[in-house]
């Protein structure tokens, strides 16, 4: 009987700490349980939980009285009967040590706990849901079509071939020009070119005359023209006033002109004088011309020319003067003498600026005659030519000294006439002179 009590006492000592720990330990503490399962509350298995401490508490008090009995049992080496009954006693002491550790409060209890105590878990046999791994996460809304048999996406209809039913040309041969036979010019149609409609020319020349009167508008137009370029101006230019140094005799030459007027109409005066030093001029002429602008670059000139030397003879003059492309100044005129002789003259010069002050001027003059003029010793055709090159320094626009070279030569019957008279047919000469204008 004593041995039976000792076995029961040892068993109670080993199970009391485990029951005490399990009674106040909720294995699901901190778990969010679903609210849809109230079944665990109705389970009658929870009632025996309250009876556990009532039945086992008296057993927990027995270790005080059983301790000496345990010692007696251990101290009796002669009682070698049922040695296996003493083995639970040393196991009860190490079972208390895990209670002080926070590792697993049930470690080692499963083997020592009876089957009756193992069923006292209120959730024993219940399907406990696993912890949601996405708890606290913002989850996307569930798919409204989950579990539905969705029809397969219908592929978009294929595009109709724009060339279906068309006879396509064969593929071009490699190396062939893809534009062969095509018009590669500008495909944009040129706008039609037409003059103004007849209605545009049917009204008065000045529409303002219909409102203010022709007389009043005529005075206004004259005032506007006078304020915007109809002011008269004048210029006097001595283009060449030079001395010529020749091999056997020296001479002089003067070429000057002056004009007065406006932008459209001017009065021109021109003169040329040539001779040897210490003698009378061999040639001298004066021209009086009316000049009318025919475009922004050229003027039509007509008037009279009077030869003073070698014979006094008047001529009618018609010609043009202006600025050709590349800034070449041109003067061409035809003359009809009182005797019916027709002559012509062409002059051209160009100012090539080397610097702002230094200017190189090439110049050419050609004389022609339609017939022989024996009393003036002029032959038909190209009678005389003169080429010159002058380098001038422009001190001011009004005063420019220059030096250069000039070459003159007679041609045709003119040369024959000069040889018969013992005159020179031409030659080179050094020149030096002034260019002035006022």
Distances (CA, A) of 116 to 92, 110, 113, 121, 128: 19, 12, 8, 10, 21
10-residue mean pLDDT profile of the chain (438 residues): values are 66 51 48 50 48 45 42 39 43 47 51 45 56 61 62 58 62 58 63 82 83 92 83 93 91 96 93 92 96 96 95 96 96 96 97 96 97 92 96 96 96 92 90 95
The Cα–Cα gap between 308 and 310 comes to: 6
What's the pLDDT at 74?
A: 39
Question: What is the DSSP annotation of 165-215?
Answer: T--PPPPPPTT--TTTT---S--SPPPP-----GGGGTS-SSTTHHHH-HH
Q: Quick one: which of 252, 45, 33 has its CA closest to 128?
A: 33
The Cα–Cα gap between 418 and 82 comes to: 178
- Phi and psi dihedrals of 139, rounded to 5? -95, 145
What's the pLDDT at 362?
A: 98
- Phi and psi dihedrals of 351, rounded to 5? -95, 110
Q: Which residues pair with 376 in a beta bridge?
A: none
- Exposed, middle or buried: residue 253 (CB in 10 Å: 0-12, 13-18, 19+)? buried
DSSP-derived secondary structure letter, 99: G
Q: Quick one: which of 135, 130, 137 has its CA closest to 28?
A: 130
Question: What is the DSSP annotation of 32-65?
Answer: ---TT--HHHH-GGGHHHHHHHHHHHHHHHTHHH
Question: What phi-psi label fits residue 422: left (phi over 0), alpha (psi between -120 and 50 degrees) or beta?
Answer: left
Tokens (6 digits) for 96:
């208390």
Q: Quick one: which of 386, 385, 367 has its CA closest to 376?
A: 367
Strand (E) or helix (H) holding 427: strand 426-437
Q: Quick one: which of 321, 332, 333 has its CA closest to 294?
A: 321
- Phi and psi dihedrals of 240, rounded to 5? -140, 120
What's the pLDDT at 433?
A: 97
Task: Please state the length of the chain.
Answer: 438
Provide the CB-side half-sphere exposure for 237 (13 A, CA).
10
What's the pLDDT at 231?
A: 81
Look at the block and give the residue holding tokens 């027709």: 342
What does pTM read for this prediction?
A: 0.53
Q: How many C-beta neighbours within 10 Å does residue 281 have?
A: 18
What structural domains and CATH numbers belong to the chain? Answer: 2-17+45-118 (no CATH), 234-437 (2.40.160.40)
């Amino acid at each position: 009987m004593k041995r039976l009590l000792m076995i029961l006492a040892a068993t109670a000592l080993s199970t009391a700490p485990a029951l005490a720990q399990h009674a106040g330990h909720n294995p699901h503490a901190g778990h969010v349980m679903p609210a849809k399962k109230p079944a665990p509350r109705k389970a009658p298995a929870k009632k025996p939980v309250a009876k556990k401490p009532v039945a086992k508490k008296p057993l927990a008090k027995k270790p005080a009285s059983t301790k000496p009995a345990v010692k007696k049992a251990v101290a009796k080496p002669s009682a070698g009967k049922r040695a296996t009954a003493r083995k639970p006693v040393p196991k009860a002491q190490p079972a208390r040590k895990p209670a002080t550790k926070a590792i697993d409060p049930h470690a080692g209890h499963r083997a020592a706990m009876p089957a009756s105590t193992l069923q006292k878990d209120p959730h024993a046999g219940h399907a406990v849901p696993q912890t949601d791994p996405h708890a606290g996460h913002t989850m996307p809304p569930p798919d409204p079509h989950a579990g539905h048999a969705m029809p397969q996406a219908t592929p978009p209809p294929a595009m109709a071939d724009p060339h279906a039913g068309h006879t396509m040309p064969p593929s071009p041969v490699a190396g062939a020009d893809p534009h062969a036979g095509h018009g590669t010019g500008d495909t944009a149609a040129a706008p039609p070119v037409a003059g103004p409609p007849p209605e545009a020319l049917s009204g008065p020349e000045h529409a303002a005359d219909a409102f203010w009167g022709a007389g009043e508008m005529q005075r206004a137009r004259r005032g506007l023209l006078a304020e915007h370029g109809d002011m008269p101006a004048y210029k006097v230019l001595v283009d060449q006033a030079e001395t010529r140094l020749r091999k056997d005799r020296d001479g002089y030459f003067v070429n000057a002109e002056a004009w007065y007027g406006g932008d459209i109409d001017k009065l021109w005066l021109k003169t040329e004088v040539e001779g040897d030093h210490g003698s009378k001029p061999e040639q001298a002429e004066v021209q009086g011309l009316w000049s009318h602008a025919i475009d922004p670059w050229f003027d039509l000139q007509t008037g009279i020319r009077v030869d003073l030397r070698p014979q006094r003879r008047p001529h009618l003059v018609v010609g043009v003067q202006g600025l050709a492309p590349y800034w070449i100044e041109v003067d061409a005129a035809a003359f009809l003498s009182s005797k019916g002789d027709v002559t012509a003259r062409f002059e051209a010069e160009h100012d090539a600026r080397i610097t702002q002050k230094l200017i190189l001027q090439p110049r050419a003059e050609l004389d022609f005659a339609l017939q022989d003029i024996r009393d003036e010793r002029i032959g038909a055709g190209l009678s005389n030519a003169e080429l010159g090159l002058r380098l001038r320094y422009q001190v001011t626009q009004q005063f420019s000294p220059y030096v250069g070279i000039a070459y003159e030569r007679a041609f045709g019957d003119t040369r024959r006439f000069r040889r018969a008279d013992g005159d020179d047919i031409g030659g080179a000469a050094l020149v030096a002179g002034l260019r002035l204008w006022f």
